[in-house]
């Protein structure tokens, strides 16, 4: 993403309050703050926002305990396809892994 956007930042954490540490006040006082570049945000959105316009079967496989991409994202994807009238093309499956991008070998498609 960094290369695709020529180093521009599409994200912001201005106004975000982090919690869960042993000292949230110190955490929030010391965390680096950055603003999004509006053009980078637009370009990323154009490149990656889901439309739900699929015409082929889609199979998703998600690790239930993925620590980086929460399994709840699958519900958002389903809702997007439902909104576009394309949910009939979707099958969602889940695994019990707890790592991101570390599924077992049998869960990755092989190139032919």
pLDDT tens for 6-16 read: 889 999 999 99
* pLDDT tens column, 21-66: 999 999 999 999 999 999 999 998 887 888 999 989 999 999 888 8
Maximum pairwise Cα distance, the chain: 53
Separation between Cα atoms, residue 82 and residue 52, nearest integer Å: 8
Task: For residue 111, give the 3-state DSSP assignment.
Answer: coil
Tell me the C-alpha distance between 37 and 10, whole Å.
5
């Amino acid at each position: 993403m960094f290369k695709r956007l020529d180093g521009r930042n599409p994200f912001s954490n201005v106004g975000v309050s982090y919690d869960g540490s042993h000292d949230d006040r110190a955490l929030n006082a010391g965390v680096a703050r950055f603003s999004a570049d509006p053009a980078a945000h637009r370009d990323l959105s154009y490149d990656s926002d889901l439309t739900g316009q699929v015409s082929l079967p889609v199979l998703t496989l998600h690790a239930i305990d993925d620590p980086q991409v929460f399994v709840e994202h699958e519900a958002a994807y389903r809702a997007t396809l439902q909104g576009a009238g394309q949910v009939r093309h979707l099958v969602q499956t889940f695994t019990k892994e707890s790592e991101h991008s570390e599924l077992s070998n049998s869960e990755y498609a092989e190139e032919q």
